């Protein structure tokens, strides 16, 4: 979509604000045109000694009134216009954020967080300015130009007007040349700002790593380079924008010289009065604003075009996982995987191959296996973060793809190994999925996740801020807060992706016991536990051992021990390791 089409659609939807602003601008232009004419008539009357004291005071009062009216009309149109123009920024940011929220992990693997943040701020600001300031500055300048030129030709002297306009084609040529360079410079400026923004975001996120490795100076040096490049690119864009002013200045200077030369001759020949020449000169001065407005509008439009050229591809990027489902009812019944296979892009070896499983409601499935076996990939398939290339996946009476993503994600709670907490209080993080949850419900969920006692030890207890990404909590505490959040959501399917890796075995046992109690109380709720620690899946109804993306073993804990395969050997090793740690 082009900038003109985007702005045009927006103006059509908010036409009352633009019409009201246009009417007020028309009033400004009308009063602006009347003032020089009034002053010229007063000068001629004074020269002819026909202007009395009383009439002079009346004329001066009228000039003062028109000046005051111009002031309030300008304030009015700006208030009305920018209230509408800022709405475009809100709409674009809402649309952009909604698009980002719907994208899957594959999209974010190709995008930089800092660049996305720059698009949501700097670039949308540029588009917003094109819809607001540029639109009305262009209308204001054009209206003033037409009215001033009209009265110069029809109300003063058409010959003088034609002479004064002779330098203006050269100015138009200069504007065309400058605007081309501004577009290139603005594009580079926005990109440099994105690079700087991305570096700052990464540095702040990984500040602990930078300090641990002693890379503060190296990071600061890189920041200085990026800041210098961004400043240079911005300066270059500003330099080209500043080129509009001398173009306008030279044009108006040439027009003034021609006006005074020809106008003086006409006055000498008694073909023009001094008052008329004065009015004409004032009108010529009023052309300064339309010319500057033209330069300002062209600059804003080129910046808006450059910003939209960066933003539009992100808005048009197809969703990494299509949301074409129509079923909005909560899934009920067994979760069935029939010969599921998936290979990551560019990989010849499949991450999952011929996976067939059935998870009945109210049951627990354990996923174990060595690193890289495909456990997390299988959970991502269930979450519809990725789409398998082969096989069928159904939940109850419908294929998983038949459900809307919103319905599916409401039915599933996922706790990854690296749990993410928001910069708010512990209680707010736990109640993220249920904003209406009572404090008693929040505390019960925390108790089920074995974090309640830890929270009570904090000075502010549940009102303790966790800091950015939960930095004030330990890894085990963050995991348990995330588990409490998932339990409070009461989803039909709970996915634990090595979510107990940072807790001790005693705490793990307490959490698993609470999960068993919860599953017994909620007959339709199922749990899938992916873990490297086999003690986490001992009580699972079915344990599946994945190796190289395939099911190597499956069964209960006891049956797998009897087979004496990978599971049994790994169990003996972990038991020995635990006993050595205990001593």
Helix axes 3-13, 53-102, angle to 10 degrees: 110
Separation of alpha carbons 282 and 37, rounded Å: 9
Q: Is the pLDDT of residue 307 over 60?
A: yes
Q: Per residue, what are the HEC states of 294-328? A: HHHHHHHHHHHHHHHHHHHHHHHCCCCCCCCCCEC
Name 153's Cβ contacts closer than 8 Å, sequence gap at least 6. Answer: 161, 162
How many angstroms from the chain centroid is the CA of residue 460? 33
| For range 174-182, the mean pLDDT | 78
- Please, which pLDDT band fits residue 157 given cuts at 50, 70 and 90? low
Phi-psi region of 214 (alpha: psi -120 to 50; beta: other; left: phi over 0): left
Main-chain phi, psi angles of 100, to 5 degrees = -65, -40
From residue 163, how far is each of 156, 169, 258 by CA, in Å?
13, 12, 7
From residue 430, how far is each of 22, 186, 479, 501 by CA, in Å?
51, 44, 11, 20
Integer Rg of the chain from CA: 36
For the chain, list the domains and their CATH numbers: 3-316 (1.20.1560.10), 335-582 (3.40.50.300)
Bigger pLDDT: 519 or 570?
A: 570
How high is the pLDDT of residue 3? 67
- Please, which pLDDT band fits residue 430 given cuts at 50, 70 and 90? confident
- Please, which pLDDT band fits residue 278 given cuts at 50, 70 and 90? low
Separation of alpha carbons 123 and 490, rounded Å: 40
| For range 53-67, the mean pLDDT | 78
Closest CA to 273 of 2, 76, 47: 47
Q: Are 507 and 450 in contact (CB under 8 A)?
A: yes
Range 385-389, long-range pairs (CB < 8 A, 24+ positions) = 385/104, 385/105, 385/106, 385/321, 386/104, 386/105, 386/106, 386/321, 386/342, 387/321, 387/322, 387/342, 388/340, 388/341, 388/342, 388/352, 389/341, 389/342, 389/343
Separation of alpha carbons 60 and 126, rounded Å: 42
Closest CA to 377 of 103, 560, 566, 105: 105
Instruction: Give pLDDT tens digits for 287-296.
Output: 766 777 777 7
What does pTM read for this prediction? 0.67
Separation of alpha carbons 263 and 115, rounded Å: 57
Main-chain phi, psi angles of 261, to 5 degrees = -65, -55
For the beta carbon of residue 430, count every other beta carbon within 10 angstroms. Answer: 29
Separation of alpha carbons 379 and 391, rounded Å: 15
- Please, which pLDDT band fits residue 187 given cuts at 50, 70 and 90? confident
Instruction: Give pLDDT tens digits for 217-232.
Output: 777 787 788 888 888 8
Q: Is the pLDDT of residue 119 over 60?
A: yes
Separation of alpha carbons 504 and 153, rounded Å: 89
Closest CA to 428 of 460, 389, 459: 460
Please, which residues bridge with residue 553 across strands?
545
Name the DSSP letter for residue 404.
Answer: -
Separation of alpha carbons 299 and 322, rounded Å: 39
Bigger pLDDT: 458 or 38?
A: 458
3-state secondary structure of 165: coil
Burial degree of 263 (CB within 10 A; 0-12, 13-18, 19+): buried
Q: Is the pLDDT of residue 37 over 80?
A: no
3-state secondary structure of 272: coil
Mean pLDDT of the chain: 78
Closest CA to 481 of 430, 417, 433: 430
Instruction: Give pLDDT tens digits for 438-481.
Output: 888 888 888 888 888 888 888 888 888 877 766 777 777 888 88
Instruction: Give pLDDT tens digits for 528-583.
Output: 888 888 888 888 888 888 888 888 888 888 888 888 888 888 888 877 766 766 55
Q: Are 14 and 84 in contact (CB under 8 A)?
A: yes
Closest CA to 153 of 235, 252, 276: 276
Residue written as token pair 């009580």: 539
Residue written as token pair 């456990």: 375
């Amino acid at each position: 979509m082009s900038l003109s089409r985007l702005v045009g659609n927006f103006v059509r939807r908010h036409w009352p604000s633009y019409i009201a602003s246009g009417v007020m601008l028309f009033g400004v232009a009308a009063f602006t045109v009347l003032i020089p004419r009034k002053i010229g008539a007063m000068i001629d009357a004074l020269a002819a000694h026909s202007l009395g004291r009383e009439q002079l005071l009346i004329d001066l009062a009228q000039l003062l009134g028109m000046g005051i009216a111009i002031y309030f009309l300008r304030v009015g149109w700006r208030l009305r216009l920018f209230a509408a123009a800022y709405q475009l920024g809100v709409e674009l940011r809402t649309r952009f954020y909604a698009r980002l929220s719907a994208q899957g992990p594959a999209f974010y693997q190709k995008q930089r967080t800092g660049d996305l943040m720059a698009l949501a701020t700097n670039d949308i600001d540029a588009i917003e300015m094109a819809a607001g300031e540029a639109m009305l500055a262009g209308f204001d300048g054009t209206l003033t130009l037409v009215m001033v030129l009209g009265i110069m030709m029809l109300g003063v002297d058409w010959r003088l007007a034609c002479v004064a306009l002779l330098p203006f084609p050269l100015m138009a040529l200069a504007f065309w040349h400058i605007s081309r360079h501004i577009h290139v410079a603005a594009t580079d400026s926005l990109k440099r700002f994105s690079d700087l923004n991305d570096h700052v975001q990464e540095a702040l996120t990984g500040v602990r790593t930078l300090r641990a490795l002693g890379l503060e100076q190296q990071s600061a040096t890189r920041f200085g380079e990026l800041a210098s490049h961004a400043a240079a690119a911005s300066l270059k864009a500003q330099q080209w924008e500043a080129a509009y002013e001398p173009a306008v200045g030279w044009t108006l200077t040439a027009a003034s010289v021609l006006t005074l030369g020809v106008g003086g001759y006409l006055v000498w020949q008694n073909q023009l009065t001094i008052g008329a020449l004065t009015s004409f000169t004032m009108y010529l001065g009023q052309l300064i604003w339309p010319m500057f407005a033209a330069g300002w509008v062209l600059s804003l439009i080129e910046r808006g075009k450059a910003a939209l050229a960066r933003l539009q591809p992100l808005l048009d990027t197809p969703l990494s996982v299509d949301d074409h489902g129509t079923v909005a009812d909560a899934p009920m019944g067994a979760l069935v995987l029939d010969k599921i296979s998936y290979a990551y892009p560019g990989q010849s070896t499949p991450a999952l191959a011929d996976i067939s499983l059935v998870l009945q409601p109210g049951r627990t499935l354990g996923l174990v296996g060595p690193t890289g076996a495909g456990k997390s990939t299988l959970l991502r398939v269930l979450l519809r973060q990725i789409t398998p290339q082969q096989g069928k996946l159904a939940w109850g009476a419908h294929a998983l793809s038949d459900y809307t993503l919103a319905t599916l994600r409401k039915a599933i709670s996922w706790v990854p190994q690296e749990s993410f907490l928001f910069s708010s209080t512990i209680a707010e993080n736990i109640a993220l999925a249920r904003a209406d949850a009572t404090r008693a419900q929040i505390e019960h969920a925390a108790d089920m996740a074995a974090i309640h006692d830890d929270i009570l030890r904090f000075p502010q207890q549940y009102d303790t801020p966790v800091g950015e990404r939960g930095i004030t909590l330990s890894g085990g505490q963050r995991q348990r807060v995330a588990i409490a959040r998932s339990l409070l959501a009461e989803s039909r399917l709970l996915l634990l992706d090595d979510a107990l890796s940072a807790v001790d075995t005693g705490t793990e046992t307490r959490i698993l016991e609470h999960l068993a109690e919860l599953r017994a109380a909620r007959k339709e709720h199922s749990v899938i536990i992916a873990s490297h620690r086999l003690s986490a899946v001992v009580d699972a109804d079915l344990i599946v051992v994945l190796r190289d993306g395939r099911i190597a073993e499956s069964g209960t804990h006891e049956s797998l021990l009897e087979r004496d395969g990978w599971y049994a050997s790994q169990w003996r090793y972990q038991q020995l390791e635990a006993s050595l740690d205990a001593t």
